[in-house]
Amino acid sequence: MARFSKGILGPFSGGVGTVIGGTWKGISYMRSKPLPTDREPSIKQLEQREKFKVMVRFLRTITGLVTVTFKDSAIQMSGFNAAFKYNINSVITGSYPDYEIVFENVLVSRGDLPNGINPAAAMGQGAQILFSWTPNTGTGKAADTDKTVKVVYCPGRNQAIFDFGVGRNTGGDQIAVAAFAGETVHTWLGFISENAKSIATSVYTGSFTIPG
């Protein structure tokens, strides 16, 4: 793909002959149109496509989250793409076409803000997931005003619940999960600074079966 600051008649978007033009993050580019082919995809291509499908299916449930929580890793790419790039290389297991996600290895946020000490989760009363940690304000950039990043994902429904919660100094937070009654869910905890400029790398906090 070639980049340019000014085309012959200025930057353009769309196709002209065998060339496609456009802009990405303010950078103008030109690339050739892909050539049609009748060639059957190789096994490696099929494997990669299936892994991509599995990863995208999961990440689409938390698109609004990773757009923010992976922006520290998003160098000339979107937060979603940064989350995809990290996780596709770290969390897929199995053999084609039966791939699965190792949820214990998944990151739903990534950055250099300290997480809480000993982050954990437990099943509470009334279909609540209870998150806990030991406050560590003053460690690195950690501040009392950092907010929790809580994520609950249900593979059976391919749905997720997430939010930004209470301050780091509280040591505990919760999230309602009655919508996943009877299902098994996976959970993660992270932190985000009050101005949303610093993100903590998430910690997997276990799986739970929600009472039906």
- Residue 1: pLDDT band by 50, 70, 90 thresholds? very low
Question: Looking at the structure, do residues 15 and 68 belong to the same domain, yes or no?
Answer: no
| 87-123 confidence digits (pLDDT tens) | 999 999 999 999 999 999 999 999 999 999 999 999 9
Residue 82 domain-assigned?
yes
- Are residue 14 and residue 77 in the same domain, yes or no? no
What confidence score (pLDDT) does residue 76 get?
Answer: 85
Q: Classify burial at 167, counting beta carbons within 10 Å of its beta carbon; exposed 0-12, middle 13-18, buried 19 or more.
A: middle
pLDDT in tens, 140-156: 999 999 999 999 999 99
Spatial contact of 129 and 177, defined as CB atoms under 8 Å apart: yes
pTM, two decimals, is 0.82
The sign of the torsion formed by the CA atoms of 63, 188, 108, 55 equals negative
pLDDT at residue 27, rounded to an integer = 59
Q: Which residues pair with 92 in a beta bridge?
A: 101
Tell me, yes or no, whether 16 and 53 share the same domain: no
CATH value at residue 143: 2.60.40.10
Domain count along the chain = 2
pLDDT for res 104: 98
Is the same domain home to 172 and 99? yes
Nearest CA among 75, 85, 97 for reference residue 55: 85
pLDDT at residue 72, rounded to an integer: 82
Domain carrying residue 26: 2-32
